[in-house]
Amino acid sequence: MLFSNVCIEGLGYVIPERVVTTAWFEEQLQTVYRALGTPNGYIERLTGIKEHRWWDDDTRVSDGSAMAGEKALAATGVDRSDIQCLINTSVCRDYIEPATASIVHNKLGLSQAAMSFDIVNACLGFLNGMLVVANMIELGQIDTGMVVAAEDPREGQLWTINHMRNSPPDREALRDNLASFTLGAGSVAMILRHKDVSRTGKRLLGGVAYSNTEHCELCVAQRMWMRTKSSALLSEGTKVVAQAWERFKGALGWTNAMVDRLFTHQVSEPQRQVALKALDLPSEIDYPTLQYLGNTASVAAPISMAIGLDNGFVKDGDRVVLFGVGSGINSIVLGIQW
């Protein structure tokens, strides 16, 4: 997938103010820990995550996406009437129907002529959304589109705590439910434009997708729970990442040495380090946010990019990689000329 006409106009993001520490989750699980002889600090040592965020009680997923969308509009100076397509890519959503995108569309006050719909693909959804908007721009169907996502894992985390407290202590169940306690809330939005109307000229050059759906049930979730075979997911996910990376370099003609900055989906610190080693990329080009945001699912890679941009991590002219991985196991790698 190569693009000649697509630019990233800018991003907006929201980090919820409410901080929930990993230590707090472990305090809630003390009866389980004592019964199993599990030491305090178990989750943080395995994941490298110290803090997570939760939205305020009255904040919905669509509110988070709309707030990020407003920030993207303000940051780019794009008029909301120019948005011709809005795609919401969150794992979490307000309802099964209507599409959360339609609610965000209304909250942002977009044109009635602007289409809106959801794309859901686990933690990879945002990059899928970017590709759909980019293809529409490349085909001349639209010249400006927005991708948004917001995640809110609190309900599932509280249900998991309650379920584990009221079930017989089980070491395997603790391991399988560990992924629930890596999650965190946040939201992000990106505006993409045709190069002829872009004010930035920050090119989305293209990318590749790669999947191994033989392992589609290593991480499964419903609204109220999540179960993950972490060791197998790490092993098989790393194989998918490595394959996607080699295909990406072939498609864009890049080498490892050409990559200036990297923004990835982040599940845990061990997973991040294993992936970097598999890709033979130095850790200093990566921008981790996992320690204080947790795994923000579809938001993780783009919000890391947005925060990195705000903090001056990316310079004009940098070659940037946006690397997504999602349960399934699916991966997308995108190349950007900043």
Name the active-site residue from 97, 172, 214, 284: 97
Instruction: Assign residue 37 a region (left: φ > 0; alpha: ψ between -120 and 50; beta: otherwise).
Output: left
Amino acid at the residue 218: L
Calpha distance 208→171 (Å, rounded): 39
Calpha distance 178→171 (Å, rounded): 11
- Determine the longest span between alpha carbons in the chain, in angstroms: 64
Question: Residue 206, SS3?
Answer: strand
Contact predicate 75/195, CB 8 Å: no
Q: Which stretch of DSSP H or E encloses residue 194? A: strand 186-194
| Contact residues for 96 (Cβ-Cβ < 8 A; gap 6+) | none
44 flagged as catalytic: no
Burial of 334 (0-12, 13-18, 19+ CB in 10 A): buried
Cis status, amide bond into 39, omega within 30 of 0? no
Name the active-site residue from 7, 85, 92, 123: 123
Structure tokens at 229: 């075979």
Question: Which residues lie across from 332 on neighbouring strands?
Answer: 209, 324
Residue 119 CA from chain centroid, whole number: 13
17 flagged as catalytic: no
Residues with catalytic roles = 97, 123
